[in-house]
Structure 1
Amino acid sequence: MDDHFMTETLLKLSGKVALITGGSSGIGLATAHLMHAQGASVVIVGRDATKLDEALLTIGPRASGVVADVSSVADIDRVMAAVSERHGHIDVLFANAGTSHNPPLREVDEAAFDSMIGLNFKGVFFTVARALPLLANGASVILTGSAAADMGRWGDPLYAATKAAVRSLARTFANDEELTLRRVRFNVLSPGAIKTPLTQGAYEQPDVDAYVCAAVPMKRWGNAEEIASAALFLACADSSYMTGSILAIDGGMAQV
């Protein structure tokens, strides 16, 4: 048998279309690389045009991008229009865009509140809602949650609340009868302390690094590639009997 044919048949996402928000760096970019390597045509979304172009150069020939801010419903509509025009459907939706940067509780003002809610919750909700007409039968939708949603830490109540809301969304979407009949699955990926450009300011501080390594049973930070591998599992047929679930990739941080 032809080696090229054998390789193609073994790819987990051969011929699939994957849309990844927050795809120009960190977990989103690592996932874009892996899904592209597994045969998918990948569309990444990011707010910074320069970063998006740089990311696309590293992914491969089946990658394209859309500059958009997913806290804006109008921008989300532009994303879906671009995906519809380029590919006509979505097989994998990774609603990953978000931020963990928020002030301490007593310093949160209305602008900070609206910014966090707009990106981490509103953005996820409308990304999924606007993608529904494009989701193929058997599509997999992955929402990025966080171990913080289960821990009740004093330092990031607003961030944790948005991620708990995302967890609730997955349960609700997964219980939609029409989508269930179409075999569309919704699951949450729940990372713990992961080294990405977003967290660089934290893990480069010795006291923060020591705190995390002490708090995590595996005694280390995770990396974006480990989260990407979990996202691939949720995206492909390996997780075909999972929906409404949460997959924790946190070194045990929120588990034990």
Structure 2
Amino acid sequence: MLLVPSFEAASQPAPPLLGPGNLCLTAIEAAERGSGIPAQLLRSIALVESGRVDPISGRRVPWPWTINAAGAGYYFENKDEAIAAVRRFQASGIRSIDVGCAQVNLQHHPTAFPSLDAAFDPQINVTYAARFLNALYQTTGSWPGAAAGYHSMARGIGSAYAERVLAIWPGRSQYGVLPAASRGPNPVGDYSNLTPAFARIARRIDEDRALQTRTVALRAPVWINRPPAPIPVLPPGSRRFAQRGQQVRPG
């Protein structure tokens, strides 16, 4: 899943939004209400996953046309460009691709969406993410623990991610801290309380996370205005700037 290095606190009041970022926020609010997820938890996860500054509103929002392909992240202007980019990545042999507001991985969640058009539909994307988050809550018994599992059930990987989510989640004081079972160096996740389908997904996620940790330096996404050519996995320290693009920097 896409990791964005910085973002606004999720609790700040938002003015009316006119850009695509409003699509994610509206869908997330409906998904949280409909699935019993605490307010703004999924929103905070989505900000970590796909947050960027909306060029219309000027606020940092989850961006619906976001892709992470083999550790490289990209924002697109519209859905058609994002879909075209995914097809090019797939044609080049890349399978681990995160998409949409909540950055659902197409390889790890192969039955989540009937089509790429559905995968980039904000409501469909976040509704599936809400189902997965709820399954993780049933397993961990903790919403902070579920946030960690959204990225990885392996403690050392998921806990660092959860801390980033908790840092901007307004409900963190109400729902407690990250449980001890979700912290520590244990590299193996506990999938025993997940359904068989979600357990398989969680194992695949953790296997991929472990591989990325060893071989890929995850980078902040870049803004591009057209589908990129297929991109190989880059060695640590490499930088790639898209034509007419802007590197997203912390702060």
Structure with bigger gyration radius: 1
Q: TM-score range by the shorter chain?
A: under 0.3
Select the structure that is richer in strand: 1
* Higher relative contact order, structure no. (Cα contacts within 8 Å, ≥ 6 residues apart): 2
TM-score, length-normalised on structure 2?
Answer: 0.27
